[in-house]
Chains A and B, each alone.
Chain A
Amino acid sequence: MASVYKSVSKTGTKAPKDEEGTKKNKQRVLVLTSRGVTYRHRHLLNDLVAMLPHGRKDAKLDTKSKLYHLNEIADLYNCNNVLFFEARKRQDLYMWMSKAPNGPCIKLHVQNLHTMEELHFTGNALKGSRPILSFDATFDRTPAMKLIKEVLLHVFGVPKGARKSKPFIDHVLSFTIADGKIWFRNYQVSEVEAPKKTDDTDAADKPKSKKSSEQTELSLVEIGPRFVMTPIIILEGSFGGPVIYENKEFVSPNAVRSEIRKKKAQRYNSRTEEKQRLETKRGELGLEPGRPKGELDESVLFA
């Protein structure tokens, strides 16, 4: 296997890109959670860590209020990105994506998350292969979304030559905006040999590897995990600094839950109110049960 890797990587370096050497995509991501995550959150984190060979997983962070400590931790591990999962009330998951030393920092609410394990998709990919990132053009509409796209590119895109990355490309991460939310999907790229009509004519003299890669038909098989992110705020600094974007449409899950509870309580309130109203009405009509019988009472008159 090593020989295969060597030969492949050699052909890769042959390309005349090295001489430019202008700017390189260098990213390292610190991945960690807060305390109080559920098993699903943890499994999602493990899935993501497996997909990010340039990631560095760290122990759970104790504090939820002093998030700026994350910058120091990132500095400690030479990371310029932080992917921090914050769990609240053991049910809500918030994702912080930050460019470590001087920002920006994006807070997202993660919903509808399904880990790789529970999804039972048949797709599979090399651990640490570099993904193709597919973005929806809706990202370019507003500056906030543009920024989010850039940060997603830094965090989820595996830079070339990352330490544990593999030389082939066999999966694609797609980010789509729908309903004001960012939907995450992970697909395997599976290649199927195309029908051999063209093969017979001109495959003989040309280099095989190039030819075969062009003639296979691509299809996708989902791998997982799946989740949906709602952007909440963007801070100018990394875990600090002024708020430069705030999502007006975001409704906190606490508000949703309290609304549900209120609605439930409303039922009881309306019932008791109705009861009281009935009682007063009866009292006004003189029909209350403890009333002494008068001369003109029906039961007396028609006894």
Chain B
Amino acid sequence: MAKPKSKLKNALNRQLGKDPIRDKLKKISRRQPKKRESIGDEKKEVEEWEDAEEEDEDDEEVPELVDTSKNTSKTSAAAEEIQDKDEEEEEDEEDEEEEEEDDEDDEDDEGDEDEDEDDIALSDIDDDDLEVPDLLPHQKLTINNHSALTQVLERIALPLSSLPFVEHQSVTTDAPVEIKDVDDDLNRELTFYKQALDAVNIARKKLTKEGVPFSRPTDYFAEMLKDDEHMGLIKQKLLDEAANKKAAAEARRQRDLKKFGKQVQFAKLEERNKAKKDTLEKIQVLKRKRQGADTEFTNESDMFDVALEDAVASSGRKDKRDRDPSRASRAKRQKKDQKYGHGGKKRFSKSGDAESTADLSGFSAKRNKSSFAAGKKKRPGKSKRASAR
């Protein structure tokens, strides 16, 4: 059911001796009486004009059928007429759909024909039809004139098969390039890259066969597509990017170190405390041992321990002081200077600062946890004290 749709086809027909416009006019005049019979027939007939070009016999029959039905309905009420109209429109729609289907079927056969038959030209559609939006498959009239395209191509085409490859240097891929998702940048660019790389490999083979220089010798200098200034900018940008990356990595490392450094510092302090405790314990043990050797009171030695020690120490100190009085006085002087003056800031010397606040050397979690009374040494009972005395 091909219809004349384009001016091109009209022109073609005219050349062949047909005049579609005159034909149309003739047919209109022939069907004028029928038309008066019923308004609804108009559309049918328009379709028939379209079909008229190739199927003259058919269109004589179809309207007859419709006409008889019309004649019977002529007597019915106005409301029924309207209904009929609606029905007709529906029929039209169906017809259109059928046509489209037919066209699609034909397409394979008529691939070489002038036009794609998919679409209905705007000029071929009646005004009444325009009221029904469903009847317009495409608002735009599509043109794809295959014969004209191929003819034009033949006119301008280079004879690629006869020309040596150097003349055109064009490579077409063997299989069409498939890109599944156009929005997937990485894969898309990769397929482009592959296509280009394949082309270059093929081209190089062909060019070397034809004895054409391909690669540029290293000592050939000439003006480049991008000048040195531009390349400098690109290089600078690359360098900057690298530097930025490095700086970011360094900053991250520093941050991590800082986080970790606090733990290190704490561990160090802990260690120092532990060492201090250890040495003190050792000293204590040593003292006990010595005391155990000297005196018989091993159990209650603690009581005397301190006094004895003091006595020993004081005697020792006294000895020292006696031996070197100037040194002792100097130490005193030093202490006093530290306390009262001679250099340094005097105010707030005893008040706490950040350092002292952060200093946790005097703090022991164990002692803090233990109850207030438990921390103190218990006083021995009265009898023990008496016996000790």
A172: contacting residue among B158, B188, B191, B200, CB under 8 A: B200
User: Contact at A245–B222, with CB atoms within 8 Å?
Assistant: no
Check A153–B170 contact: CB distance below 8 A: yes
User: Contact at B234–A122, with CB atoms within 8 Å?
Assistant: yes
* Known A-B contacts A116-B225, A140-B172; A134 and B167 likewise in contact (beta carbons under 8 Å): no
Stretch in contact with the other chain, from A123-131, A264-272, A292-300: A123-131
Flag A124-164 by CB within 8 Å of B: 1 or 0 each.
Answer: 11111011111111111111101101110110010110000
Interface flag for A189 (CB, 8 Å): yes
Q: Is the CB of A24 within 8 A of B167?
A: yes
A203 at the interface (CB under 8 A from B): no
Contacts of B149 in A (CB 8 A): 143-144, 146-147, 234, 244-245
Q: Closest CB-CB distance, A133 to chain B, in whole Å?
A: 4
Q: Contact between B220 and A4 (Cβ–Cβ < 8 Å)?
A: yes
A8 to B216, CA, bound (A): 10
Q: Which residues of A contact B177 (CB under 8 A)?
A: 136-138, 176-178
Q: How many Å from the CB of A233 to the closest CB on chain B?
A: 8
CA distance A143 to B200 in the complex (A): 26
Within 8 A of A (CB), among B137-162: 138, 140-146, 148-150, 152-153, 155-159, 162
Query: Which residue from A50, A138, A168 sits with its C-beta under 8 Å from B220?
Result: A168
User: B residues within 8 A CB of A187?
Assistant: 193, 196
- Residues 197-226 of B at the A interface (beta carbon under 8 Å): 197-201, 203-204, 207-208, 210-217, 219-226
Given A134-B196, A168-B216, A187-B193, A51 and B225 touching (CB < 8 A)? yes
Q: Determine if B156 and A245 form an interchain contact, defined as CB atoms under 8 angstroms apart.
A: no
Contact yes or no, B176 A136, CB < 8 A? yes
Interfacial chain A residues near B201, Cβ < 8 Å: 218
Chain A contact surface mostly = mixed
Across the two chains, which residue of chain B brings its CB closest to A27? B158
Q: How far is the CA of A223 from the CA of B234 in the complex (A)?
A: 11
**Which residues of chain A come closer than 8 Å to B132, judged between CB atoms?**
none
Q: Out of A25, A50, A128, A171, which one reaches B163, CB within 8 Å?
A: A25
Q: Cβ of A291 < 8 Å from any Cβ of B?
A: no
CB-defined contacts of B197 to chain A, threshold 8 Å: 218-220
Contact of B208 among A133, A151, A214 (CB under 8 A): A214
Q: Which of A200-226 contact B (CB under 8 A)?
A: 210, 212-214, 216, 218-220, 223
A288 interface residue (CB < 8 Å to B): no
Does A244 contact B172, Cβ atoms closer than 8 Å?
no
Are A143 and B211 closer than 8 Å at their CB atoms?
Answer: no
Interchain CB contact (< 8 A) of B210 among A17, A178, A242: A17
Q: Is the CB of B222 within 8 A of A116?
A: no
29 inter-chain pairs at a CB distance below 8 angstroms, sorted by A residue, are A11-B213, A15-B210, A15-B212, A50-B225, A99-B156, A120-B237, A132-B200, A134-B198, A136-B177, A137-B174, A144-B144, A144-B149, A151-B156, A153-B158, A160-B167, A167-B213, A169-B212, A172-B196, A172-B203, A174-B196, A176-B177, A183-B192, A213-B208, A220-B200, A223-B226, A242-B145, A244-B143, A245-B143, A248-B138
Closest 3 CB pairs of A and B: A134-B199, A143-B149, A133-B170
Excluding A147-B153, A157-B169, 20 further A-B contacts by CB distance (< 8 Å) are: A1-B222, A4-B217, A5-B220, A11-B211, A23-B163, A24-B167, A122-B238, A131-B169, A133-B199, A137-B172, A143-B146, A169-B207, A187-B193, A212-B215, A219-B197, A220-B196, A223-B225, A242-B145, A245-B145, A248-B140
